[in-house]
């Protein structure tokens, strides 16, 4: 009985949140609408990163995959005249192929060598964008990237229509990731992340599943890149540096990766703090580094662990909180 | 009669071949020979015990057969024709050789039933687009039904929704075997299945091993519990320092001098005087 109640409660919360997000842009300052669109992009990045992190490892080039999607989508639209709404998924495909290529090179690496190699590869790509004025625009990036067109009388180049486009894309991606999580393939992913040796002994081809997770995660990250550039009208290579990657990593760690909701909680809390801490921009990296250390020390289950404990207490106030099983 | 895979060009005649042959198998770790020119022949349908003192190479043997390690030299031939010594462990599992682990290898976060259902993955046709089209549902249900069958076969039916981490040790080991059975093996490698069990749990597990054997599955057991090994195995191979010491039915092995020396050494334990 309490399970159905939780499900109803959960569905209620989600519906309320979505409704809130739909009403929000009509009452908020235009600046906040832009902030919200970037928030949706970070949610997509965090969830796609979680997919890769759980089955494989904490690679450090995910933000560059995002960048590959951004550059690809921008260049398809600007140089080849491809319509924006086609360029964005195409950018995702390019990012996916690139992610699979990079991952397959590093498939047999583990440990420190792996992390350093992923960092190296990320920098390699970013420096390629920086060095080559033609075709990547060098340090100034690419400008004059087309805005989305007018469809059915609605100009998607305007803030509010594009906001809803972003919202729908984000919800669609979250839904797809959720379906995958609950499927047999999601079970195989979980099995590999829990005990790769055991999974292999039952016939699960681990490299193949790692590449599959990477292809899916990279595709969504690339789509996020497409969403970005057609709002900004430009691509700036500075967006895809190691600092951004570390923010993404920290937010996912803080949120937790055990459940589907971890990265969402992490990004929501941390991105809010990120925006609120603009006046103290010098101290920001230190602050987030400290936040991650504190979470790792005192809240190893991440914020999602804290959340489920709180919800458990709210539902059964008399029951002592369950001890954390790792 | 067991039909070989490689076609013997003799018309109308079936040859019996061993299901698994280990041929001059060696595995070195640096300078240390864990396995040295080991030869073993396993017939289909037997229960073979692999025993020997610690460090004899028993688990290394299992690791090499199941593809966790590559051999340094030598061959492993499956079903008379297929060389499996260079294949990955997932490939070998797909071919029908499945092992259990010395450690308790189960998925702690999942229920008992889900642990076994996941291992049915081999028999699932998955497709990432099928996830959204809903085409995999029917096969999923079939796999779940088969998983339930296996869970009940192993005597865990009443615990099927229980989280694996909540089970007592003996049940967790049984679950490990259930996971292996879910892959529908031809050859089952049981690595110390009785470790850490009470006498009752051991008797129960031995019963289960016999039941599995009745399903026509070839079983190799690495074990330290001599009584259980002698009880359940048809034939025993004794390893020492990575090579075969002696082979024979349990009655012979029990009284073999070389086996006793291998386990206990050549000195009187109390006085330290040489026994030979």
Q: Provide the domain count of chain B.
A: 1
Residues paired with B22 in a beta bridge: B40, B76
DSSP readout, A82-140? --HHHHHHHHHHHHHHHHHHHHHHTTT--HHHHHHHHHHHHHHHHHHHHH-HHHH-GGG
Nearest CB to B118: which of A179, A191, A212? A191
Tens of pLDDT, residue by residue over A115-135, are 999 999 999 999 999 999 888
**Alpha-carbon gap: B46 to the closest alpha carbon of chain A (Å):** 22
| Regions of chain B where pLDDT drops below 50 | 1-11
Residues of chain A with pLDDT > 90: what percent?
62
Strand partners, B76: B22
Domain coordinates in residue numbering, chain A: 2-240
For an interface test with B, give the residue of A174, A201, A204 to mutate (most B CBs within 10 A). A201
pLDDT at B232: 94
Q: Are A68 and A125 in contact (CB under 8 A)?
A: yes
Q: Which two tokens stand for residue B58?
A: 């028993």
Q: For the segment B61-100, what is each residue's pLDDT rounded down to a tens digit? A: 999 999 999 999 999 999 888 899 899 999 999 999 999 9
| CA–CA gap between residue A226 and residue A71 (Å, rounded) | 8
Pick from B117, B119, B126: which is nearest to A185 by CB? B126
| Rounded-to-integer distance, Cα B133 and Cα B14, Å | 46
What's the mean pLDDT in A259-277?
90
Cβ contact, residue pair A201, B121, below 8 Å: no
Res B142: pLDDT: 83
Q: Does some domain include residue B3?
A: no
Confidence category of residue A48, pLDDT binned at 50, 70, 90: very high
Question: In chain A, which residues have their Cβ closer than 8 Å to the Cβ of B177?
Answer: none
Kindly report the pTM of this predicted structure: 0.86
At B135 the pLDDT is 64
| Residue B109 maps to a domain | yes
Nearest to A185 among B93, B128, B183 (CB): B128
* Probe site for chain B from A108, A182, A184 (most B CB atoms < 10 A): A184
The residue range of the domain holding B163 is 20-264
Position B41 in a domain = yes
Specify the CATH number for the domain of residue B230. 3.40.50.300
């Amino acid at each position: 009985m309490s399970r159905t109640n939780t499900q109803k409660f959960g569905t209620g919360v989600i519906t309320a949140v979505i409704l809130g997000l739909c009403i929000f842009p009509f009452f908020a300052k235009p600046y906040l609408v832009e902030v919200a669109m970037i928030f949706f992009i970070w949610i997509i990045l965090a969830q796609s990163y979680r997919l890769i992190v759980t089955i494989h490892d904490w690679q450090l080039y995910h933000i560059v995959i995002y960048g590959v999607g951004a550059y690809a989508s921008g260049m398809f639209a600007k140089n080849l005249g491809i319509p924006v709404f086609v360029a964005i998924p195409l950018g995702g495909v390019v990012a996916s192929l690139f992610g699979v290529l990079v991952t397959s090179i590093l498939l047999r690496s583990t440990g420190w060598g792996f992390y350093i190699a992923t960092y190296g590869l990320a920098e390699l790509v970013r420096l390629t964008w920086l060095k080559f004025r033609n075709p990547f625009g060098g340090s100034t990036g690419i400008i004059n990237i087309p805005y989305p067109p007018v469809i059915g009388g609605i100009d998607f180049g305007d803030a509010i229509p594009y906001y809803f486009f972003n919202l729908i894309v984000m919800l669609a991606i979250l839904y797809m990731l959720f379906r995958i999580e609950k499927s047999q393939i999601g079970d195989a992913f979980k099995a590999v992340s829990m005990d790769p040796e055991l999974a292999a002994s039952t016939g699960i081809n681990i490299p193949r599943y790692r590449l599959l997770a990477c292809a899916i995660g990279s595709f969504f990250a690339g789509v996020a890149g497409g969403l970005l550039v057609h709002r900004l009208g430009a691509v700036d290579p500075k967006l895809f540096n190691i600092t951004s990657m570390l923010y993404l990593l920290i937010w996912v760690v803080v949120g937790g990766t055990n459940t589907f909701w971890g990265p969402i909680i992490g990004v929501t809390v941390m991105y809010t703090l990120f925006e609120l801490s603009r006046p103290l921009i010098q101290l920001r990296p230190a602050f987030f580094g400290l936040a991650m250390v504190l979470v790792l020390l005192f809240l190893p289950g991440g914020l999602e662990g804290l959340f489920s404990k709180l919800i458990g207490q709210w539902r059964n106030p008399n029951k002592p909180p369950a001890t954390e099983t790792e | 009669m067991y039909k070989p895979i490689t076609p013997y060009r003799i018309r109308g005649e079936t040859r019996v071949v061993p299901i698994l042959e280990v041929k001059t198998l060696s595995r070195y770790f640096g300078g240390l020979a864990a396995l040295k020119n080991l030869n073993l022949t396993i017939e289909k349908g037997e229960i073979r015990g692999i025993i020997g003192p610690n460090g004899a190479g028993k688990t290394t043997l299992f690791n090499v057969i199941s593809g966790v390690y590559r051999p340094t030299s030598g061959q492993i031939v499956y079903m008379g024709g297929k060389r499996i010594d260079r294949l990955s462990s997932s490939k070998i599992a797909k071919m029908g050789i499945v092992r259990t682990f010395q450690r308790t290898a189960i998925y702690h976060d999942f229920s008992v039933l889900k642990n076994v259902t996941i291992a049915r993955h081999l028999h699932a046709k998955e497709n990432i687009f099928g996830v959204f089209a809903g085409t995999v549902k029917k096969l999923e249900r079939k796999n779940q039904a088969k998983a339930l069958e296996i869970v009940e076969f192993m005597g865990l039916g009443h615990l099927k929704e229980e989280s694996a981490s909540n089970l007592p040790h003996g049940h967790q080991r049984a679950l490990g075997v259930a996971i292996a059975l879910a892959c529908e093996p031809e050859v089952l490698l049981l690595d110390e299945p009785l470790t850490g069990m009470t006498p009752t749990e051991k008797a129960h597990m031995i019963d289960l091993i016999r039941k599995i054997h009745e399903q026509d599955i070839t079983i190799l057991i690495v074990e330290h519990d001599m009584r259980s090994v002698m009880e359940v195995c048809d034939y025993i191979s004794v390893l020492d320092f990575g090579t075969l010491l002696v082979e024979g039915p349990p009655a012979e092995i029990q009284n073999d001098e070389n086996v006793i020396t291998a386990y206990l050494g050549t000195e009187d334990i109390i006085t330290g005087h040489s026994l030979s």
